[in-house]
Chains A and B, each alone.
Chain A
Amino acid sequence: MDPTTRLDQIEQGTSLGKDAWLRLRKNKLAMASLILFVFIALLCFMGPFFGVQDPTATHLDAKSQPPNKDFLLGSEHLGRDILSRILYGGQVSLIVGFIATFVSLIIGVSYGAIAGYIGGRTDAIMMRIVDVLYALPFMLIVIILTATFSDALQDIEFLHAMKEKSKVFEPDLLLLFFAIGFVEWLTMARIVRSQIITLKKQEFVEAAVSLGLSHKRIIFRHLIPNVFGSIIVYTTLTVPSVMRLEAILSFLGLGVKPPNSSWGSLIKEGADRMYSDPWLLVFPALFFSLTIFSLNFLGDGLRDALDPKASKD
């Protein structure tokens, strides 16, 4: 896809959003993905209100049961219900996926927009920094970040008070939001910058400048809204890659830590017992893979819908 393709070229008559929605609705695969994703997300966040078992309740009389009518997806070695663990773990995975993406979105969009708008030397230096960061093996940095700061965050009293109110303040999750957010913004910065550069030469920006608007206002009120299309597409594609990173970290024992669990840590537990109790691996892996699938297909569909000039590959 050529990231410099101008979105304004497709806006004729109907609004961009409406137009894109009409095109997206015709894409059966993308619509099926959207429905599947919404279904999984609702299941994870609403399921607990509809009589799913407590994910921490142990049933020592029903250890390592294959799927049956009491435990729809089976139980593990302490007799905890796998379905409810998957749903609660899914909440964690989805929360990390979306919040870490949001962190990367904020950094990437501001950085790219500022570099593209100022241009010249500043732009050259800022993008050079991005190039250098691209060359860093970011997996190593994320692992070092999560491992070194996990103890430090555990000691902060304020977080212990806050985490009673909301899961989002759990130290291990907070760490993931920022560690992943800080490495995932690079591509977003590049995409936004290249679009801003083509946009800033257009008349509406000249008009804004001649009206005496501040640079901040021009960037955030006039330029960024015009790049929303690409931002949405790339965000949809970032969420699954963030979720995958979180799962890898949790799989390695560095991300979400007990008593919390996420799909990654459930897959790890399943992989440890896969010979005797394969359902422990299969079901979390299924939920995880379906979510990644649906988000990827949805992202592809959105790209076609918002930017029909870019071909599929």
Chain B
Amino acid sequence: MWRFIISRFLQAFVVLFCILTITFFLTALAPGNPFQEDKAIPKHILAKMDAYWGRDQPLIVQYGKQMANFARLDFGPSFGNKGFTVNEVIGMAFPVSFMIGFAGLFIALAIGIPLGVLSAVKRNTGVDYSLMSLALIGICLPTFVIGPLLSIAAIKLGWLPALGWEVPWLNWFLPGLTLGLFYGAYFARLTRAGMLETLSQDYIRTARSKGVSETRVVLFHALKGGLVPVVGFIGPAVAALIGGSFVMESVFQLPGLGTHFIRAVTNRDTPLLLGCVATFGLLILITNLLSDILLAWLNPRHQSASDS
């Protein structure tokens, strides 16, 4: 088990290193200057600014510096947000994105798993068909359509603060619900598939023939195996939730990490960009790792298969 975890951990760092390298060279080689503004800045001043921020050094030196920064998890000052360090910007924006993503994942699991189990237990009945059609509709309706529609509804009905981040404890709800409905639909389908497969196994028949009640069979015997595909999807889902939270931040006008990421890309704010990518990357890698460990626990065969 420890060998498995450590090898996964090392792989994760190689992946993170690759992403940061790609990101650095793409932005460094792209045309444009982070200090360019609408009003033209004289060339000698631009040159001085470049020198001050170390942008006049050879690319490979800049790259080495940024990687050293990453190793210390301190990305230095942001080019675009004057007077702020990258760490400060991320420190302010991360909780916003994290809350939305976490709420989204939580709601998705809370909706998806029970509905998937119900659908599998009542397979090929009206309940199953209507739940699965609903799930397919949920998958096909993109978040940037559900989000605005929900926020119209919220404003017309006056239930919830639809935009902004003034009431932090309420405002993550709509974006979270939007993401949750969308990924909940995926989770419902995955749970159903996993449960159907598990319910047809021999050990379930054994449990039933021993007179274990049907509820107990479903909830205690089958659920653990049935959740394997769901847990396997959590890693990719977190990556997708980050992408989804970009859209949510744009729809609900939230000052999250996605907003800063997109601004950093268009402004060529390399330090902030690398900081954002490292944050997203670490988040994805940690959840992937956790979901791998959880999978190995749920299904020991998975571990030996991925070790080889």
The chain A residues found within 8 Å of chain B, CB to CB, are 132, 135-141, 143-145, 147-149, 151-152, 155, 240, 244, 247-248, 251-254, 264, 267-268, 270-271, 274-275, 278, 281, 285, 288-289, 292-293, 296-297, 313
Can you list 16 A-B pairs with a CB-CB distance of less than 8 A?
Answer: A132-B18, A136-B18, A141-B19, A144-B27, A148-B26, A248-B142, A251-B144, A252-B247, A254-B262, A264-B144, A275-B152, A278-B152, A289-B141, A293-B137, A296-B139, A297-B136
B95 near A: Cβ within 8 Å? Answer: no
Question: Which of the 9-residue segments B52-60, B205-213, B238-246, B297-305 touches chain A?
Answer: B238-246
Q: Are B142 and A144 in contact (CB under 8 A)?
A: no
Interface residues of B in 132-184 (CB under 8 A from A): 136-137, 139-142, 144-145, 147-149, 151-152, 155
Q: Which residue of A lies closest to B120 (CB)?
A: A313
B281 near A: Cβ within 8 Å? Answer: yes
A-B contact count (CB 8 A): 122
B79 near A: Cβ within 8 Å? Answer: no
CB distance from B202 to the nearest CB of A (A): 19
B87 near A: Cβ within 8 Å? Answer: no
CB distance from B258 to the nearest CB of A (A): 8
B91 near A: Cβ within 8 Å? Answer: no
CB distance from A87 to the nearest CB of B (A): 19
The residue in A145, A148, A278 that gathers the most chain B C-beta atoms within 10 A of its C-beta is: A148
B32, B139, B145: which contacts A288 (Cβ < 8 A)?
B145
Known: A251-B250, A252-B262. 13 other contacts (CB 8 A): A132-B14, A137-B242, A139-B242, A143-B246, A151-B31, A152-B30, A240-B140, A247-B142, A251-B247, A253-B262, A281-B145, A292-B142, A297-B136
A293 to chain B: which residues have CB within 8 Å? 136-137, 140
Q: Are B196 and A313 in contact (CB under 8 A)?
A: yes
Q: Once bound together, how far apart are the Cα atoms of A143 and B12, in whole Å? A: 22
Q: Which residue of A lies closest to B262 (CB)?
A: A252
Q: Once bound together, how far apart are the Cα atoms of A143 and B243, in whole Å? A: 10
B193 near A: Cβ within 8 Å? Answer: yes
Q: Are B262 and A143 in contact (CB under 8 A)?
A: yes
A140 to chain B: which residues have CB within 8 Å? 19, 23, 242, 261, 277, 280
Q: Once bound together, how far apart are the Cα atoms of A251 and B262, in whole Å? A: 12
B266 near A: Cβ within 8 Å? Answer: yes
Interface residues of B in 55-85 (CB under 8 A from A): none
CB distance from A69 to the nearest CB of B (A): 26
B26 to chain A: which residues have CB within 8 Å? 144-145, 148
Q: Are A289 and B265 in contact (CB under 8 A)?
A: no
Q: A248-B142, A252-B246, A293-B140 are in contact. Are A141 and B22 (CB under 8 A)?
A: yes
A267 to chain B: which residues have CB within 8 Å? 144-145, 148
Q: Once bound together, how far apart are the Cα atoms of A52 and B144, in whole Å? A: 28
B285 near A: Cβ within 8 Å? Answer: yes
B189 near A: Cβ within 8 Å? Answer: yes
B192 near A: Cβ within 8 Å? Answer: yes
CB distance from B145 to the nearest CB of A (A): 4
